[in-house]
Amino acid sequence: MSLTYTTWLAQAANLAGTSTTNPYLVTELPGAIDYAELRIYRDLDLLATRQTDQSQTCVPSQRKLNVPAAFVVVEGINIITPAGAAADSGTRNQLLPTSVEFLDFCWPSSAGATLPAKFARLSQSLFLLGPWPDQSYAVEIIGTQRPTPLSAGNPTTFLSTNIPDLFLAATMIHISAYQKNFGAQADDPRMAQSWESQYGLLLASADAEELRKRYRGTIALPAPPGMDKRPSGPDAMRGG
């Protein structure tokens, strides 16, 4: 069963042995949501956090590319050709990630500016391109962003709807800290440990489901004769 902000609050209060109007609990609710959501988003590579931005454009003879600060992880950058064409009406030219040092060595200036082929991250929202662009190419950025948190004004999220059990367990870990049930001197020192253990079990099952969405973790097809049949690389399929 999915959760809404109201039903989540009722269940959290019930599991904590208090009321939804408890002033101390009410004060701590935003912190509990932040703790749970940020932890889950870092632990799981959720497709639901993936976004595409097509608002940026290369500046001729300028290697700097501003990336919207909302992106946490940039997974790919495409340069659209011909210059002036939109992403869905032109051709996507995928850039390969590299280091700033490599770009500085290979393309130290705008001399020979042409279609970029590589990119490197300089800061949270600033990337460098190499070679330097020669025209105003449209840019498509693909990566992960943090969804809007659960709140009274935003009563449902992907987490509360699709993995409510994991979300509830994560919030209860934080609420255990609020109740000072984290150590041997607490009223119930096993409370936080129990929720932490439950979170780990639920996380494993949620991760397995997310991997299936990417068609990973399925049975590998036999390799051609003479080829090594053992999987290799981080994304290798594993036999069941």
Model pLDDT, residue 58: 97
Model pLDDT, residue 126: 96
Asked if residue 219 belongs to a domain, the reply is: no
Model pLDDT, residue 160: 97
Asked if residue 162 belongs to a domain, the reply is: no
Domain end, chosen from 91, 112, 144, is at 144
- What is the C-alpha separation between 146 and 148, in angstroms, rounded? 7
32 and 62 together in one domain? no
Residue 225 token pair = 């004769």
62 and 95 together in one domain? yes
pTM of the model: 0.78
Asked if residue 238 belongs to a domain, the reply is: no
- The residues, any chain, with a CB within 8 Å of residue 202's CB and separated by 6 or more, are 163, 165, 166, 169
Model pLDDT, residue 162: 96
Asked if residue 41 belongs to a domain, the reply is: yes
Model pLDDT, residue 182: 40
Model pLDDT, residue 168: 96
152 and 178 together in one domain? yes
Asked if residue 227 belongs to a domain, the reply is: no
In this prediction, the residues of the chain whose per-residue pLDDT falls under 50 are 181-187, 219-221, 227-240
Model pLDDT, residue 192: 61
Element (H, E) at 178: helix 164-178
Model pLDDT, residue 212: 87
CA angle at 29 for the pair 24 and 30, rounded to the nearest 5°:
130
Counted domains in the chain? 2
41 and 150 together in one domain? yes
186 and 131 together in one domain? no
52-73 burial code (b ≥16 CB/10 A, e <16): ebeebbbbeeebebebeeebee
CB-count burial class (<10 Å; 0-12, 13-18, 19+) for 114: exposed
Give residue 188's domain range.
Answer: 5-46+146-157+167-213
69 and 140 together in one domain? yes
Asked if residue 225 belongs to a domain, the reply is: no
Asked if residue 226 belongs to a domain, the reply is: no
Asked if residue 135 belongs to a domain, the reply is: yes
Model pLDDT, residue 198: 87
136 and 22 together in one domain? no
109 and 60 together in one domain? yes
8 A C-beta contact, residue 136 and residue 84: yes
Model pLDDT, residue 147: 96
**Residues in the chain, total:** 240
8 A C-beta contact, residue 83 and residue 134: no
CA 169 to each of CA 18, 187, 200, 210: distance values in angstroms, whole numbers, following the listed order: 17, 19, 9, 18
197 and 82 together in one domain? no
